[in-house]
Amino acid sequence: MLRIGLTGGIASGKSTVSDWLRNNHFPLVDADRIAREVVAPGEPGLQKIVEAFGRRILLEDGSLDRAQLGELIFHHEDLRQSLNSIIHPLIRSRMRKQLETFEKEGAPVVFLDVPLFFEGSFEGWTDKTIVVYVTESNQLRRLMARNNLTEAEAMARIKSQMPLEEKKKRASAVINNNGTIRESEDQLIRILKQWGIK
């Protein structure tokens, strides 16, 4: 089974590519989706987060207040590391189970959609990697518009990740997402054809 990592940066348009893969019925392990699942009410992950951060990070319905937690960890590296030490092992474990399931089902290829692919050292999990790339100015503009952030807030989030220029160097293939969605999809289709994936 060929394993392909899919990554990018915040507001680089990676979800556009993963949506195309999903809509075209390619097996996809979605790290973001799994990250939400492991902290859902009733999950041990949420209980561990409450033990570490207190009930202030819960909404009235008992679910995780992502905005509150995000605000907390974004400005405190030690708290971010504490959160990561709780949820990362849970996410990796569930990702491995999904990969095993696809393998048992005989899937010829599976994509791993991981936003922090290089930062999280996932290279050993995959055979090839696709990076969805945009210029920093486009990334900044899109992030400010999407999340209603000031330039300083958006830039702080961009700078908290590995630069896209660096990710580009490590990729097996790059999708330039500075143009239209159609142009990005065409690039993806070309890459899949080159790699013998239908």
What pLDDT, on a 0 to 100 scale, did the predictor assign at position 176? 97
For the stretch 135-187, pLDDT in tens is: 999 999 999 999 999 999 899 889 889 999 999 999 999 999 999 999 999 99
What pLDDT, on a 0 to 100 scale, did the predictor assign at position 71? 81
Evaluated on CA atoms 37, 38, 44, 46, the torsion sign reads: negative
Annotated binding site: 11-16
What pLDDT, on a 0 to 100 scale, did the predictor assign at position 87? 94
What pLDDT, on a 0 to 100 scale, did the predictor assign at position 145? 94
Average pLDDT over residues 25-52: 95
Q: In the numeric block, which tokens belong to residue 18?
A: 């993963």
Contact 16, 61 (CB under 8 A): no
Domains and CATH numbers, the chain: 1-27+109-198 (3.40.50.300), 34-106 (no CATH)
Average pLDDT over residues 10-36: 95
pTM greater than 0.85 (yes/no): yes
For the stretch 91-112, pLDDT in tens is: 999 999 999 999 999 999 999 9
Contact 121, 113 (CB under 8 A): no
As a whole number, the mean pLDDT across the chain is: 94
For the stretch 112-145, pLDDT in tens is: 999 999 999 999 999 999 999 999 999 999 999 9
The helix-helix angle for 77-104 and 44-53 (nearest 10°) equals 170
What pLDDT, on a 0 to 100 scale, did the predictor assign at position 83? 93
What pLDDT, on a 0 to 100 scale, did the predictor assign at position 157? 87
Annotated binding site for ATP: 11-16
- Of 176, 193, 34, 168, the closest CA to residue 109 belongs to 193
What percent of the chain lies above the pLDDT cut of 70?
100
Q: Is the pLDDT of residue 74 over 80?
A: no
Q: Is the pLDDT of residue 198 over 80?
A: no
What pLDDT, on a 0 to 100 scale, did the predictor assign at position 138? 95
What pLDDT, on a 0 to 100 scale, did the predictor assign at position 139? 95
What pLDDT, on a 0 to 100 scale, did the predictor assign at position 156? 87
- 183-192 long-range CB contacts below 8 Å, 24 or more apart? 184/13, 184/16, 184/17, 184/132, 185/16, 185/17, 185/20, 188/17, 188/20, 188/21, 188/130, 191/130
In Å, how far are 18, 29, 30, 109, 112 from 22, measured between CA atoms? 6, 10, 10, 13, 12
What pLDDT, on a 0 to 100 scale, did the predictor assign at position 167? 97
d(CA 181, CA 82): 37
